[in-house]
Amino acid sequence: MPLNYADVPLQYAKRKDLHKEDVEYLKSWMGKQPHLPQISDLEVILLLSSCDCKVEMAKTTIENHFTLRGMIPEIFGPRDPETWRLALDVATVLPLPKLTPEGYQIFYWKINNPDPSKYVFTDAIKYLETIFKMTILQKGALDGMIGVVDMEGYSLAHIAKVNLLLLKRLIVFVQEALPMKLSAVHFINAGRRLDKIFTLMKPVMKKEIIEMIHIHSDYQKTLYKSLPLDCMPKDYGGSLGSVQEMRGPDRHAKFKLTYFDFLDETVEMVLNNMDFIADDEKKKNDQVDIDFHRIHSVERMPLNYASVDLEYEKNKELRRDDVRHLQDWLEKLPHMPEISELELIFFLKSCEFRVEMTKTTIDNCYTMKGLSPEIFARRDLKTLQATLDNVILLPLPKLTSEGYQVFYTKLNSEDPSLYVFADMVKCNDVVMRVTLLQKGTVAGLVYIFDMEGFTLSHIARMHITELRKVLFYLQDGLPMQLVQFHFINADSRLDKLMMIIKPFLKKKLFERMHFHTDPAKTLYEYVPQECMPKEFGGLDRSIRELQDEVRARLNDTSDFIEEDEKRVIDESKRLQKSSRFDHVFGMEGTFKKLELD
C-alpha cells in the first residue's frame, strides 16, 4: 500500500512565498547535475520550504542532503524487515497528530526496552529518520518541527553504544540538510546522563542549534511554557491519546504495508548517489561547480566558520571597502598566501580598523609563521593530542561583560621531561584560532596562565629563540588584541621567568600583565568568576569536561590544520627583501644553565 502523499497544488495554496517557477527551476537544475537523483515536485517543495523558499540556499541544502545520505550508508542504506521489527520494539517514535498553534509538527521519542544489549544506535536512527520522512511526505511542507525526547530509561550504557563519528555526521545532516526547519528540541526526564551526551555533541553544534535545545528535569513545570498541553499524549497530562494507543497493537503490520513500497524508491536514490560519490573522489575538480570537499570533510567535521555578514553588522567601524583594499593589496604580493575575508576582518579589528597597520600585522603574522616551522609547522594530530595530555588549554565558553574571550592554561603533568615548549605553543595557537574562527571577532583576548606545578626545570626547557619568536608574534602578528595576561598561583618562580622575557616585552604588553598569588582575592576584579571553570567556583563545566571538548574539536578540524600549515609566505617570491625580522632570530641557546635553586 503506497503512501498517501501530500497534495502538491495544496502546498502552493497554503504557502504564499512558494512559487511553481522556483520548483521547476530547481528540478531543471538538478537534471543538469549528473550526480543528483531526480526527485518529485513534493520533495523539492519540502527542501525549498525548509530554506524559507530561497532558491540558492535550497541548492546548497539539496547538495548536502543527497551527498550526506550517500556518505552515511549505516543510516540511509538498505534496511531489512527484521531489523525494523526489533527497532519498533526497542523505541517509540511518534509524529504527534496535532500541530502546535505555530504549525509545528511534534516528533516524540522514548526508549521502550531499558536493556542496553537490545539497543542498536544505527537501527534507532534509521527508524527515526524513516518515520520522519514518511510523515512529511504525507503532511507536506510545515512551518517547522519540534522534537520531544523522553530520557527515562536511557542510561550511560546506552550512550556507550553510540557511534561518535556517526553522531557527528548526523548532527551535520540535521544542521545542513534536513528537509524541514528544526524549531526546538525538548529533553524531558533528563538527568546527569544528558551532560555526557552534550559533551559528545556540543563541539560540532552550531550556536543556533544549541539555543533551540531545552532541558527539563521537571517537565510538568517547564515544558508547557513552550508546548501546548493539548498537543501532547495523555501520559504526560496532555489531551491526545496515550502513547500505546498511538503506536497501536498492529504497528508491525501497519508499518510493513506503508513503508516497504516507499522504501525501494528511496534506497535506490541513495545508492545511486553513493556510487557517484565513490567515483567523484577519484576526480580532480573536473566539475568545478560542485563543492564536495566541504561536505566530504564531515569525516573530520568542517569548521562552522563565523558569518562574514554578521561581522559587518556587529563591527560598525568595519568597512567593506577596507577589506577589498586589503584583498587588492594581497593580489599584488606574490609571496603572500591566500587569506580569507573572515581572517582579514580579524586582522583589521586587531588593528582598530587601521588599514596600513593591518598590512604590517598581516606581513608579520605570515612571515613569522614561515620562518618558524618548529612552532607553526608539523602540527600533526598525534602531537597535538599528546600535548593535551601534558598541558590544559581551554577557551572558556562564556565571554566577559566587555566581550573578551578568556583562555586558561595550566600544566596537566608536572613532569618537566614531558614539557615541550614548542609543542605547547603549536597546540595553543591551533586551539585559539579554531575557537575564534568559529565564534567570530571578540573585543579582545584575556590569557590566564595557572603556574601551579610550573617549576624552574620547566623554564630551563625553553629555547630562547622560540620564546623570542612567540613574544614577537603575540605583540606584532596576532590577528586579535591581547588585552590582559594573568599569572595566577605565582611565586618566586615568576621572578625568574619575568627576568628572561622582560627584555623582549614592549611596554604596552608588560602593562597588561597582572600577577596573582591568591587568585580568589584579585583575579575576579578582571575576569568574572562565572566565566571560570567549576573548580574556580564558575558557572560553567569542569576543566576535564572542557578539555574533552577541545580534544574533540582538534580531531574534527585536522583537515583545517593540515591546509592551514601550507598558508605561509614564500620568501623566494618576495619582491622586496626585509631585514625587519633579523633581531628576532639573532639569539640562540636555551635556559639550561639557569641556577635551579
CB 510 within 8 A of CB 473: no
Are 546 and 420 members of one domain? yes
59 and 105 belong to one structural domain: no
Count of the separate structural domains present in the chain: 4
Let me know if residue 269 belongs to a domain: no
Whether residues 48 and 169 share a domain: the answer is no
Q: 244 and 106, same structural domain? A: yes
Residues 201, 147 within the same domain: yes
Contacts of 353 (CB under 8 A, 6+ apart): 315, 317, 318, 319, 322
Q: Which ranges constitute the DSSP H helices of 140-250?
A: 156-159, 164-176, 193-201, 207-210, 219-222, 243-247
Question: How many beta carbons lie within 10 A of that of residue 2, not counting itself?
Answer: 9
pTM, two decimals, is 0.53
Predicted local distance difference test score (pLDDT) of residue 193:
66
Question: Pick from 34, 49, 71: which residue ends a domain?
Answer: 71
Same domain, 49 and 94: no
List C-alpha distances in Å: 64 to 36, 67, 179, 543, 547: 11, 5, 11, 35, 31
End residue of a domain, out of 249, 264, 279? 249
State the pLDDT at residue 476: 92
Q: 474 and 342: one domain?
A: no
Indicate whether 258 belongs to any domain.
no
What does the CA dihedral 146, 151, 153, 156 come to, rounded to 10 degrees? Answer: 130
Reduced to 3 states, what is the DSSP secondary structure of residue 301? coil
> Domain boundary residue among 210, 228, 249?
249
Shared domain for 239 and 97, answered yes or no, is: yes
Instruction: Give the SS3 label for residue 377.
Output: coil
Distance CA 227, CA 238 (A): 10
Same domain? 390 vs 318: no
- Contact indicator for 304, 79 with CB cutoff of 8 Å: no
Is 256 a domain residue? no
- Other beta carbons within 10 angstroms of residue 579's beta carbon come to 6
Amino acid identity for residue 163 in this structure: N
Q: Is residue 22 part of a domain?
A: yes
Assigned domain for 461 exists: yes
Cell 566539475 sits on residue: 287
Residue 589 lies inside a defined structural domain of this protein: no
* Same-domain status, 187 and 314: no
- Asked whether residue 85 falls in the same domain as residue 172, the answer is yes
Do 118 and 197 lie in one domain? The reply is yes
Residues 6 or more apart whose CB falls under 8 angstroms from that of 309 comprise none
Q: What is the CATH number of the domain that holds 152?
A: 3.40.525.10
Does the residue 284 lie in any domain? no
Domain membership of residue 354 as a residue range: 308-361
One digit per residue, pLDDT tens: the chain, 597 residues? 456 889 999 999 988 899 999 999 999 999 888 888 888 999 999 999 999 999 888 998 998 898 888 888 888 876 666 666 677 778 888 899 999 999 999 999 998 888 888 888 888 888 888 888 888 999 999 999 999 999 888 887 888 788 777 888 888 888 889 999 999 999 998 776 677 677 767 777 888 888 899 988 888 888 998 899 999 999 998 888 888 887 765 444 444 444 444 444 433 433 343 343 233 223 222 333 333 333 333 333 446 788 888 899 999 999 999 999 999 999 999 999 989 899 999 999 999 999 999 999 999 999 888 888 888 888 888 889 889 999 999 999 999 999 999 999 999 998 999 999 999 999 999 999 999 888 899 999 999 999 999 988 988 888 888 888 999 999 999 999 999 999 999 887 788 888 888 888 999 999 999 999 888 889 999 999 999 999 998 877 899 989 988 988 887 777 788 778 778 888 888 887 665 555 555 444 444 444 433
Asked whether residue 350 is domain-assigned, the answer is yes
